[in-house]
Amino acid sequence: MFVHAPGRMGVSQSIASTLMADSSLNVALFGSRFMGKAHSNAWLQAGHFFDLPTRPVLHVIAARDAAHLQSFAERWGWANWTIDWRTAIADPAVDLVDIGTPNHLHREQALAAMEAGLAVACEKPLAGTLDDAREMAHTARRTGVPTFVWFNYRRAPALALARQIVAEGRLGRIYHVRAAYLQGWGGPDTPLSWRFRQSQAGSGALGDLMAHIIDMARFVTGDEIAEVVGAIEERFIKQRPQPDDPTRKGRSSVDDAVLFLARFRGGAVASFESTRLATGIKNSNRLEVHGERGAVRFNFERMNELDFFDGTEPPRLQGWQTIQAMHEEHPYAAHWWPDGHWLGYEHTFANQAADIVVAIGGGNPFMPIPDFADALTTQRVMEAAVLSARHRAAVKLSEIPV
């Protein structure tokens, strides 16, 4: 059991110089289930596969269920564990707080960590509500601590390659962005977990899935959404079985699906669709971008491949090519296996963990990592979609205060 340590004193010493002194980055992770596993693995693998300025150390993990937490900590090699996340923040050895808890907890946990002068890596969406997200971004700016948000798909090599191709101008002016994140697990028999409670999740498919594709579209195009032109939000399933007693039902209070049309500042028009009721689809996270000279398309179901159409080739040679983004010249790939040896979901997190360590050490991450200010932009687009659906009206991003 983790023993409470005396409180951390102030923020006067820069995190980077502290790290230089002992060359380890002590991580406190909150959450020990889905993301608890993904992040534990990421911190371990980052240190194994990347040459990092400091070594990430699994120092302390906090979650609610003591019995599960103890065995989880032993299995993954966490040095300490606690059911009280505040004691982890008060531990003077901790350098970075990593938040993998339900969305309504992000604000309180991140604010406490930032006020203690700690770097924070928070799961997406940044928060359950826009107000929470705004307060988190403002506190990050005031305290000056490094912040990061786990929009992990940016670090799938094929998607990072799409960003490079767009940045090189190979698509020219962008006309269309088409994004869809489709899952099918949310039918009427799916229990009423925190993911279906507005008080804990903030939203349904919107925060769970749409947040990812908004971030991916911004990342790949390098452009910003200027206006949500029209949105639909639907809650198909109003009652769901209680997790502890499936014979009883409770109210599901979040959207099952959200769709919207949008315009980018640069003039591209876009469609976004997110749902947990795409029956028959497991985890299809798609982004297509069409420009005047070419196009790219990505689907996480074949995450190591990027389809590229080069419209500058002579017409007799034109056609889609499928690039397997595992060559050492592709983003992140040189750190893993020889060409053609596939990567998986977990590598996106390991790549991000490595980039976070590099950024904290004062270096340049291989791909930009969204900080709280950046993730607030994504959250404002989500809010614009909610308002657009509610009022059946177009909503400009400039109408959503920063």
Ligand X SMILES: NC(=O)c1ccc[n+]([C@@H]2O[C@H](COP(=O)([O-])OP(=O)(O)OC[C@H]3O[C@@H](n4cnc5c(N)ncnc54)[C@H](O)[C@@H]3O)[C@@H](O)[C@H]2O)c1
- Which residue in the set 31, 47, 56, 146 belongs to the binding site for ligand X (CB under 6 A)? 31
Paired tokens of 75: 């299995």
310 versus 346: smaller Cβ distance to ligand X:
346
104 versus 163: smaller Cβ distance to ligand X:
104
DSSP string, 298-316: EEGGGTTEEEEEETTS-GG
63 binds ligand X (CB under 6 A): yes
> How many Cα neighbours within 13 Å face the side chain of 181?
20
62 binds ligand X (CB under 6 A): yes
Q: Shortest approach of ligand X to residue 98 CB, angstroms?
A: 11
Element (H, E) at 227: strand 225-234
3-state secondary structure of 276: coil
Q: Which stretch binds ligand X (CB under 6 A): 63-71, 331-339, 361-369, 374-382?
A: 63-71
Q: Shortest approach of ligand X to residue 176 CB, angstroms?
A: 25
Q: Shortest approach of ligand X to residue 273 CB, angstroms?
A: 18
Q: Shortest approach of ligand X to residue 210 CB, angstroms?
A: 12
Q: Which stretch binds ligand X (CB under 6 A): 16-24, 50-58, 99-107, 257-265?
A: 99-107
Site string for ligand X, 194-223 (x = CB under 6 A): --------------x---------------
Q: CA-CA distances (angstroms) from residue 62 to 41, 68, 85, 105, 208?
A: 16, 11, 5, 13, 22
- Which residue in the set 35, 58, 180, 277 belongs to the binding site for ligand X (CB under 6 A)? 35
Gap between the Cα atoms of 245 and 165, Å rounded: 51
Backbone angles phi, psi at 272, to 5 degrees: -130, 135
272 binds ligand X (CB under 6 A): no
Residue facing ligand X at closest CB distance = 33
156 versus 171: smaller Cβ distance to ligand X:
156
> 375 Cβ partners below 8 Å, 6+ apart?
122, 124, 125, 126, 133, 137, 149, 151, 215
132 versus 305: smaller Cβ distance to ligand X:
132
- Which residue in the set 22, 65, 245, 339 belongs to the binding site for ligand X (CB under 6 A)? 65
54 binds ligand X (CB under 6 A): no
Give yes or no for a contact between 54 and 24, defined as CB atoms under 8 angstroms apart.
yes
Q: Where are any strands of DSSP class E within 96-208?
A: 96-99, 119-122, 147-149, 174-182
From the number of C-beta atoms within 10 Å of its C-beta (0-12, 13-18, 19+), residue 320 rates as exposed
54 versus 352: smaller Cβ distance to ligand X:
352
32 binds ligand X (CB under 6 A): yes
Q: Shortest approach of ligand X to residue 87 CB, angstroms?
A: 11
The amino acid occupying position 157 is P
Q: Shortest approach of ligand X to residue 70 CB, angstroms?
A: 13
Give yes or no for a contact between 225 and 270, defined as CB atoms under 8 angstroms apart.
yes
Paired tokens of 298: 């990505």
Q: Could you tell me how many residues of this chain bind ligand X (CB under 6 A)?
A: 22
- Which residue in the set 100, 146, 157, 186 belongs to the binding site for ligand X (CB under 6 A)? 100
- Which residue in the set 8, 11, 53, 64 belongs to the binding site for ligand X (CB under 6 A)? 64
Q: Shortest approach of ligand X to residue 34 CB, angstroms?
A: 3
Element (H, E) at 25: strand 24-30
> 108 Cβ partners below 8 Å, 6+ apart?
none
Q: In the window 141-170, what residues touch ligand X (CB under 6 A)?
A: 150, 152
Site string for ligand X, 101-140 (x = CB under 6 A): xxx-x-----------------xx----------------
Burial 99-119 (b: 16+ CB within 10 A, else e): bbbbbbbbbbbbbbbbebbbb
| Interacting residue ranges for ligand X, rule: CB under 6 A | 30-36, 62-65, 85, 100-103, 105, 123-124, 150, 152, 208
